[in-house]
Amino acid sequence: MSAQSEHGWGAMPLPEIRTVDDLRSALSRYGFPGDRDRFEEELAAAIGASSTDDFAGAAAVVRAYRHRVLIRNSPEIMTALEDARAGGGGT
């Protein structure tokens, strides 16, 4: 509970992510620091490495970063991550 109040990880409105441009906006506003730049780099690399009829790699990058926005938007997950980091993650 204290991690939420210390870090402001309260409930944020979940952004609508239907397009790559929506994802870019969400990463800029809701992502972890540096996510937007890394997304652009990874997406460009995946597109560049894709054959002209298979963009599965680019789609995987989009899915991964969409998931990061959802993680960052979850107070429960963020609290668990902070607790694991503070406690060394050991059980």
pLDDT tens readout for residues 25-82: 999 988 889 999 999 999 999 999 999 999 999 999 999 999 999 888 877 877 887 8
Residue 24, C-beta contacts closer than 8 angstroms, at least 6 positions apart: 36, 39, 40
- The 3-state DSSP composition of the chain as helix, strand, coil percent (nearest 5) reads 65, 0, 30
69 in a domain, yes or no? yes
18 in a domain, yes or no? yes
57 in a domain, yes or no? yes
Full domain range(s) for residue 66: 2-86
91 in a domain, yes or no? no
Task: Say if CB 61 and CB 39 are below 8 A apart.
Answer: yes
Task: Say if CB 20 and CB 40 are below 8 A apart.
Answer: no
52 in a domain, yes or no? yes
12 in a domain, yes or no? yes
pLDDT band at 11 (very low <50, low <70, confident <90, very high): low
For the chain, the domain total comes to 1
67 in a domain, yes or no? yes
